[in-house]
Amino acid sequence: MTAFDILKKLCDEQGISVNTLEERIELSKNTLYSWKKNTPKGSNLVKVADYFNVSTDYLLGRTDKKYLDLTNNSESYLDNKLQQIISGLKDEEKEFLLVTLENTLHLAKSLAKK
């Protein structure tokens, strides 16, 4: 399976086209279609991997493990990133985010009990 085949499968699972993905991650038209014949450029490979939250090795067909495992380093990175986002919010936006997260956690707990 080529990198393009894997990319196409991920797009199909998300219900988006390859062209839509190119627009969302700000790549030139047909950049990703070139993956049918050429090895992806590193920077483009990383953009796609980040978009789908998969490893570059998965996109290249080097592993079947689709999703990234969270390590202590990645959890720390995510925590720092979240703190940056929150610090840039207005008080009313922070309150809205908090209520939304609480509701989401409540829903997740009730679904987990079923």
DSSP 40: P
Looking at the structure of the chain, the number of domains it has is 2
The 10s digit of each residue's pLDDT in 33-86 is: 999 999 899 999 999 999 998 989 999 999 888 876 666 666 677 778 888 888
CATH code of residue 39: 1.10.260.40
On the 0-12 / 13-18 / 19+ scale of CB atoms within 10 A, 3 is buried
In a domain, 64, yes or no: no
**Per-residue confidence (pLDDT) for residue 3, from 0 to 100:** 94
The 10s digit of each residue's pLDDT in 90-105 is: 999 999 988 998 898 8
28 and 50 fall within a common domain: yes
In a domain, 65, yes or no: no
What's the predicted TM-score (pTM) here? 0.59
Kindly tell me if the per-residue pLDDT of 30 is higher than 80.
Answer: yes
Domain range for residue 100?
72-113
